[in-house]
Amino acid sequence: MAKSATKTVEKELKTVAPAVRAEGTVAGKLIDLYRLQHFDSLVDKIRTQRGELPLEVQDLEDEVAGLETRMNKLAEDLKEAETAVTDKNNFIKDAKANIKKYEAQQSKVRNNREFDSLSKEVEFQNLEIQLAEKRIKEGKFSIETKTAGVEESKKLYSERKKDLDLKKKELDDIIAETEKEEKDLAKKSETAAKQIEERLLKAYKRIRGNARNGLAVVAVERGSCGGCFNAIPPQRQLDIASHKKIIVCEHCGRILVDDTVVETVSEGK
């Protein structure tokens, strides 16, 4: 956290100080804050156990939905291609029937003009048959391509659906194992939050939201901040242990507590 952000946190905590003194000791408020952090961290740990599973499930659901849409579209295109080939075959049958009819009429014509007119009709029908046969050939190739596409899509859809079902089961199993514990911890977190003055709670949530690991309140460990691990000057360590005011890390802006606070929460959890 930048120094400007640390100054902002310190400013917020100064405005909280009067309320802290009115409602209880600074030590008491630090204990309440660390207890809240303890419960929130346990909830974070449970959610971390799920890892990327929720996102993986969502991605697979989106992929399966997309594959299903593509598969249905290919099936529709295949059906249209098959219908087009059937229509062209029926057209050829009708055209051949017309040719027979025109050729039969040619033997009964009364003049050359009628004969030429029927000849043109026969020629036109033959050209139409040739064009239809070309379209049928193209249609059959399209059918083969689309059939292969449909089969490939079905196979891929089936594979991804199995992957999705496995991931869902894995996620459901983890949720089933931890759901009750998570709900209990969430309730404890809510109860702990109610014990904290509103502006101090707001500062806690803001710090926690900015911290990558969700830690807003950390203990001093071996003379260093338990959040960013930067060294804390001896005088500042004494100030933290005195519980006269709420102190934040100069480097990351997290609220600092000493072993006394940690032990109190540990014994009472």
The torsion defined by the Cα of 176, 178, 182 and 183, in degrees rounded to 10, comes to 30
- Span 31-43, mean pLDDT? 95
Q: Could you tell me the pLDDT band of residue 173, with boundaries at 50, 70 and 90?
A: confident
pLDDT tens readout for residues 190-210: 999 999 999 999 999 999 999
The torsion defined by the Cα of 147, 153, 157 and 160, in degrees rounded to 10, comes to 150
pTM (whole model) above 0.85: no
Strand partners, 231: 224
Domains, the chain, in order of start with CATH, read 3-49+190-268 (no CATH), 53-179 (1.10.287)
- The neighbour count for residue 239, using CB atoms within 10 Å, is 16
46 in Cβ contact with 182 (< 8 Å): yes
pLDDT tens readout for residues 82-126: 999 999 999 999 999 999 998 899 888 888 898 989 899 999 999
- Give dist(CA 4, CA 2) in Å, integer: 5
Q: Could you tell me the pLDDT band of residue 48, with boundaries at 50, 70 and 90?
A: confident
17: exposed, middle or buried (Cβ count in 10 Å: 0-12, 13-18, 19+):
middle
How high does pLDDT run on average in the chain? Answer: 88
Q: Could you tell me the pLDDT band of residue 11, with boundaries at 50, 70 and 90?
A: low
